A and B are shown apart, each in its own frame.
Chain A
Amino acid sequence: MKSKLQNLKDEILEKINEIKSEADVKEIELRYFSRKGEISEIMHSLKDLSLELRKEFGVLANKTKKELEEAFSKVKNNFSNDENCENLDITLPGVAMKRGHLHPITIIQREVEDLFTGLGFSIISGPELESDYFNFTALNMPPLHPARDMQDTFYVTNGKDDNEELDMVMRTHTSPVQIRAMQKYGAPLKAIIPGRCFRNEATDARHEHTFYQFEGLMVGENINFSNLKNLLEIVGIKLFGPETKLRMRPKFFPFVEPGNNGEYTCFLCNGKGCKVCKQTGWLEIVGAGLIHPNVLRAGGIDPEKYSGLAFGFGLTRLAMLKYGVNDTRLFNSGDLKFLQQF
């Protein structure tokens, strides 16, 4: 027993002297000093000895164990980062760590949400699979209205019934949630609605059948066009910087009257003209207007008492502009090389 202990001690001390790397440290630690290591094994075997022998060897074994542990810990420390700092090449790079990534649309959506919650807006949502009624009719686009052409639509069927009325669509915009929200919460109302939308169009670098929008609306007793303008100015400044200017022009959307398009000074060239803004200095970003009285009525709100403003941005478009993405398909591609950059 005694010699076994002595041999082990010699062996370990020799090994400790030969330690050259952190890997060696680990190996020795595992082999000798761990819970199931050789030292523990010897200590364990003491219990098989007679009481006297156990006393004698017990002291010795404990002493040896302590010595070895001290010797090991000295060397071990040399290989730990702490001690090595003196000779460390401080120009060495840090070791790369794995990291995770949020999707760029999530990032930009949060930016927008935070801006509007700061202004006291609520954030609400609605179904992506919508009824024809909420997606079109309630938004002042009854069946056979020509404005339905502005949005190529996916119709949804249960696939079982040949004579089924096609009364379901993948929502072509977030606007149906306006109606649902007005019906549910009434006036006054101040909310934004971010979400996924769908258009039935073939995909290429500039077209996607699945994209992301957000919609804002405000219903109250005295909401007017001048308010809409101010709100859009604030949004521009928040999203694109303090020097951002807004320019508005008429644009027909069936759910607003008056309706308008909003352009902001191009934040990439500060309005001087560049490739992205096609040398105009302006970026067409927002569609907006005062909520059409028919839409208020569909939402159960009296247009004689209340008025409202509404506006919509493309989140996908914002992300493309902001991050210089030239191919809109990247957002839904699941391409690691793209996603890893965010």
Chain B
Amino acid sequence: MYISYNWLQDYIKLSPKHDYNEVANKLTYHTVEVEATKNQKDIFSKVVVGKVLEVSKHPNADKLSLVSVDIKERILKIVCGAPNVASGQMVPVALDGAILPGDFEIKTSKIRGELSEGMICAEDELGLGFEHSGIMVLNEKAKVGEDFSDYLKMDDVILEIDNKSLSNRPDLLNHYGIARELSVLLNATLKPLDKIVNGKNEIKFNEKDKFKVEVLDKEACPRYMAIKIDNIKIGPSPDWLKERLVAINQRPVNNIVDIANYVMFELGQPLHTFDAAYVDKIEVRKALNNEKVETIDKKERQLCSDDLVITNGEKIIAIAGVMGSAESQISDKSTALVLESANFSAGVVRKTAQRLSLRSEASLRYEKSLDPNLTEVALRRFVALLNEVCPDAKIIGTGVDIYSNKHVEKKIKLNYSWLTAKIGQEIPKKEALKSLRELGFICEEGDDDEIEVVVPSWRATKDIKEKEDVVEEVLRIYGYDNIKSSLPKEELSLPIDNQERLLERKIKDMLYSQFLLTEVYNYSFVGEEQLKKLNIDYFNHLKIANPLSELNSMLRQSLVPGLFSNIKNNQSKSDDLSFFEVGNVFFNLPGEYVKNVSGEKKLPYQEKRLGVILAGKNKEVFSQLKNITSNLLTWLFNLDNDVVYLNFDNHPGWADEKLVAQVSVAGKSIGWLGLGSSDVKKNLNLKMETAVLEINCNSLFSLLLEQAPFKIKEAVKYPPVTRDLSFVLPDKILYNDIKDVLISFHPLIKSVELFDTYKGNKLPSDKKSLAFHLVYQSEEKTLTSNEVDKIQKELVEKIVEKFGAQLRDF
């Protein structure tokens, strides 16, 4: 929203010491942030007044002319397309470097081979109206070479406020509201509303008039006022009115529409004017499903039964609070009008505006819950301005006022000591009450320190509801910066135990400092194309209903797609890459979190995962990743070696079907690990081999937390005996099979460690060799060679028999 500094001064006296910066600061520190203050002159920087000297035909284009324009400093050559350009005219000229409304930058260039050193502007190009049939011709007051802004006598300063930051303050979306706020902040006198409305003409209002208004949905339309005015003459607005609108970035249309807009920006009440030729009566009702209307912007809108509409008994003439119909709008030929000043339900207007993606200045205000008392003030103000602009205009009959849902005074009781306790500091009561009263609250002091405040109607619709809201009023006027800070007084209490977070930290620390991986954060979103390339089934993914693009249309069920992208995007930067991510994945299944208080519905299942990817020249990366996995888990669990890799059939689509394994620890499967398949390599144009690990952190954390507290192992008094054993085995025998037999063969075998594997030309092609260190140890005595030999002999026999193994000699 734009606020004109000049306009504000219609309502408050600002002394010269109040410069606009101070005004902006006051608003920012007590009410709402003023995002920028701009000199209005800057809007037309590098636009000057020029005099057309000569006009000749463009040699290469029928519709263009070559024009020489005197701008005092020098004479410019400009190519101009306007049919009305003629020598002797005074015209606005945008020079090289000028930036016109809509961020349109003017540059010296050649147009069809002829140099053009600027642009002679039409009204619409300057944001001054909608006229585009020809260039704007200035009046006799124009001086060659002067700034266009000087010609327009622009001397205003514009304050910019973000509409979104006024979500709670419908009363501030207009000049009078801002002025009211400033009158409190600057101790300035505010011109009373009735003086502005200027009640020269006494308008009477009745529920019934010759002009019939019927409100069928009173809930959606708490108040509807209308008045019929005859004998109007459509034409351009007077300069002062145009200037006001231009200053706040609104294009003037015609006198009637401009007055209606002016009142909205002055008081905050949207008004709508219909051509009376189309409107004999008014009916306010809900639309029928699939009912259609063409709105002023020439678009056909399809409505539904949630939408509130205004009809003339037959046709829809407006979507209530959003936009009027094209047919019923004021046109050059209109001679009579019907003015609507109504209050519509915020929710209804919002729903419609949202569904139709049609946000107008009117809907913006209605959505925030307007004061129903405002309709009458605004209507009277419109009539007063109309009398000024169109003195012949004549009111027909009386005004209509159907006020079904009368504003009820809102009272809030509170103890003043409660208020200061919330602030944490004494604020003199007198001062606080003075501020409240100036803001329009009526304050009654009761017994003890009780006070009762009556909320002004313009604040009572949504903004001020509870005593906490009153605290804010007192506090913000007093100034947040005037509050002294003090530490909370509280009793010590034990923080909530969150071991998972500590574990996550520990794991990240190990991954980056011990295994030298780089942490990434990838998006939670994936796309169909991306998953197809990875052979991942995407039919059961949760979807974003309103995605930014296909790439971000689904919720990830795995960290792997993101990790593959990391390799693809970085493969030119290094020969070996290694990344990890800890992040959440989302499934189309009910999870643990509830959706609402009743707890019947659950949110989808969400799981924290750890993903690791390695990329390198050859398939070695698979073993490297296995090393990382084994060591990470062994260290975390503080066990000798309980990490097990298992075959599994239902492996992920991106993995090489031979080099993929389930990762199991403490007897539970917690994830998987695999080599990126050759398909994936091809689909993603990867130049490297990849290996990926994905672990379910929820499972991992709970296993870790279930573990018995760590205790050291006491040293055994008797020395261990270490023996090495190496077997030649058929390929199909797995390490897991052998290891299980070795470790469980005899209680004196304390550990089994694989130290070598071999496959190659010293062995038949279908054989491999595995070599183990076996540690024998007794807690009761020193083992003799014989004892160990005996056990080992039996062990070897068993392995040979069970697996068709051969003992390999060193």
Contact B584 A227 (CB under 8 A): no
Contact B573 A155 (CB under 8 A): no
Decide if B786 is an interface residue (CB 8 Å cutoff).
Answer: no
Decide if A64 is an interface residue (CB 8 Å cutoff).
Answer: no
Contact A150 B164 (CB under 8 A): yes
Could you count the A-B residue pairs with CB atoms below 8 Å apart for me: how many are there? Answer: 253
Decide if B472 is an interface residue (CB 8 Å cutoff).
Answer: yes
Can you list 20 A-B pairs with a CB-CB distance of less than 8 A?
A: A100-B518, A106-B519, A117-B495, A127-B606, A131-B601, A154-B547, A155-B544, A156-B542, A156-B555, A158-B588, A198-B524, A224-B422, A225-B475, A230-B488, A249-B480, A257-B471, A257-B472, A298-B597, A307-B422, A334-B570
Contact of A332 among B493, B515, B522 (CB under 8 A): B522
- In the complex, A202 Cα to B546 Cα: how many Å? 12
Say how far A113's CB is from chain B's closest CB, in angstroms: 8
Q: Which residues of A contact B708 (CB under 8 A)?
A: none
Contact B548 A133 (CB under 8 A): no
Contact A106 B543 (CB under 8 A): no
- In the complex, A126 Cα to B523 Cα: how many Å? 18
Binds B, one of A25-33, A80-88, A162-170, A268-276: A162-170
Contact B29 A249 (CB under 8 A): yes
Say how far A128's CB is from chain B's closest CB, in angstroms: 5
Contact A260 B468 (CB under 8 A): no
- In the complex, A303 Cα to B491 Cα: how many Å? 19
Decide if A8 is an interface residue (CB 8 Å cutoff).
Answer: no
Binds A, one of B30-38, B131-139, B147-155, B663-671: B30-38
Contact B484 A226 (CB under 8 A): yes
B-contact 0/1 string along A111-155, CB 8 Å cutoff? 001000100111111111111011000000001101101100011
Contact B569 A257 (CB under 8 A): no
Chain A, range 168-226, C-beta contacts under 8 Å to B: 168, 170, 180, 183, 185, 188, 190-191, 196, 198, 200-203, 209-210, 218, 220, 222-226
Decide if A340 is an interface residue (CB 8 Å cutoff).
Answer: yes
Binds A, one of B224-232, B276-284, B506-514: B506-514
Contact A110 B522 (CB under 8 A): no
Decide if A99 is an interface residue (CB 8 Å cutoff).
Answer: yes
Q: Which residues of A contact B574 (CB under 8 A)?
A: 336
- In the complex, A14 Cα to B579 Cα: how many Å? 48
Shortest Cβ distance from A105 into B: residue = B521
Residues of B within 8 A of A (CB): 28-33, 164-169, 346-347, 350-351, 367-368, 421-425, 466, 468-469, 471-472, 475-476, 480-481, 483-493, 495-496, 498, 501, 505, 508, 511-513, 515-525, 541-548, 552, 555, 562, 565-566, 569-570, 573-574, 577-579, 583-584, 586, 588, 591, 593-597, 601, 603-604, 606
Contact B422 A166 (CB under 8 A): no
Contact B423 A155 (CB under 8 A): no
Number of interface residues of A (CB under 8 A): 94
Contact A250 B520 (CB under 8 A): no
Contact of B573 among A196, A332, A337 (CB under 8 A): A337
- In the complex, A293 Cα to B591 Cα: how many Å? 30
Decide if A254 is an interface residue (CB 8 Å cutoff).
Answer: yes
Say how far A337's CB is from chain B's closest CB, in angstroms: 7
- In the complex, A224 Cα to B484 Cα: how many Å? 11
Beyond the given A222-B490, A290-B422, could you list 17 further A-B residue pairs with CB under 8 A, ordered by the A residue number? Answer: A103-B519, A120-B492, A127-B593, A128-B584, A154-B546, A156-B544, A157-B545, A167-B601, A168-B604, A210-B523, A227-B487, A229-B484, A249-B33, A293-B468, A332-B523, A334-B566, A335-B569
Decide if A248 is an interface residue (CB 8 Å cutoff).
Answer: yes
Q: Which residues of A contact B518 (CB under 8 A)?
A: 100-101, 336, 339-340
Contact of B545 among A155, A249, A258, A298 (CB under 8 A): A155
Q: Which residues of B contact A78 (CB under 8 A)?
A: none
Q: Which residues of B contact A134 (CB under 8 A)?
A: 595-596
Instruction: Known A124-B496, A129-B606, A168-B604; judge A147-B168 contact (CB<8 A).
Output: yes
Q: Which residues of A contact B588 (CB under 8 A)?
A: 158-159
Contact of B468 among A99, A227, A292, A333 (CB under 8 A): A292
Decide if A251 is an interface residue (CB 8 Å cutoff).
Answer: yes
Contact B542 A127 (CB under 8 A): no
